[in-house]
């Protein structure tokens, strides 16, 4: 075991305000913004910590879904809106951007050693393919309310998995945190991963 559950302290950033992706059209711009969001979360959490005498690592991440529309332009899909329009928005995503196509689940990770200030960052991409015939399942899926609070409006680890036909890359990335990348990043800060 790497660390005990008792030694993990979950601290959300003080502010839930995040930069958006409005006006970003290239993959590079989207990736930079995603990493900036994870970095700003990391800085926020670091500012909340007081010295403990123990070594502390701060891990933050942000995941989003990046699809391409009919014209081939990137569309960044965060969480559905938290008003009554969410069903129509998610239905549109499935019909227009997911059905019979692939999209990217992208997660930016920021890992900082509080004692040394050393930081490592990474962006992980996984390609997700969705079935052609989403329509027969959409009403049922939307009735579950599972899309709420989920980047791209679905959860691979939940009921949304009925739409997914293939994942290329890290499955844990699509679920929310690419553990394979984290295991590779820890030694860069002098924390060798020791498996079970």
> Over the stretch 41-94, which tens digit does the pLDDT of each residue have?
999 998 888 776 666 889 999 999 999 998 989 999 989 999 999 999 999 999
Measured between alpha carbons, how far is 119 from 64 in angstroms, rounded to an integer?
22
Measured between alpha carbons, how far is 104 from 174 in angstroms, rounded to an integer?
9
Catalytic (active-site) positions = 62
Q: Does residue 1 lie in a domain region?
A: no
Q: Does residue 44 lie in a domain region?
A: yes
Helix (H) or strand (E) holding 104: strand 102-113
The predicted structure's pLDDT at residue 9 = 76
pTM for the model stands at 0.89
Q: Does residue 81 lie in a domain region?
A: yes
Measured between alpha carbons, how far is 105 from 67 in angstroms, rounded to an integer?
9
Which single residue is written with the structure tokens 């553990």? Answer: 179
- Domain count for the chain, please give it: 1
Q: Does residue 13 lie in a domain region?
A: no
CATH of the domain at 91: 3.90.950.10
Q: Does residue 195 lie in a domain region?
A: no
Instruction: Flag residues of the chain having pLDDT under 50.
Output: 1
Domain range for 124 is 21-189
Q: Does residue 174 lie in a domain region?
A: yes
The predicted structure's pLDDT at residue 1 = 46
């Amino acid at each position: 075991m790497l660390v005990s559950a008792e030694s993990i302290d979950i601290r959300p950033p003080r502010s839930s305000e995040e930069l958006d992706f409005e006006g970003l059209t290239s993959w590079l711009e989207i990736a930079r913004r995603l990493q900036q969001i994870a970095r700003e979360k990391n800085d926020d959490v670091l500012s909340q910590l007081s010295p403990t005498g123990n070594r502390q690592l701060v891990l933050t991440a942000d995941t989003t879904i990046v699809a391409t529309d009919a014209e081939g332009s990137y569309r960044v899909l965060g969480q559905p809106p938290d008003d009554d329009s969410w069903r129509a928005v998610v239905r549109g995503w499935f019909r227009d951007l997911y059905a019979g196509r692939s999209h990217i689940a992208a997660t930016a990770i920021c890992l900082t050693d509080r004692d040394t200030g050393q930081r490592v960052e990474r962006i992980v991409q996984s390609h997700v393919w969705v079935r052609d015939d989403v329509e027969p399942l959409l009403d049922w899926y939307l009735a579950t309310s599972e899309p709420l609070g989920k980047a791209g409006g679905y959860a691979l680890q939940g009921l949304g998995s009925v739409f997914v036909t293939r994942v290329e890359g890290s499955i844990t990335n699509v679920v929310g945190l690419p553990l394979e990348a984290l295991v590779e990043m820890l030694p860069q800060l002098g924390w060798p991963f020791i498996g079970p």
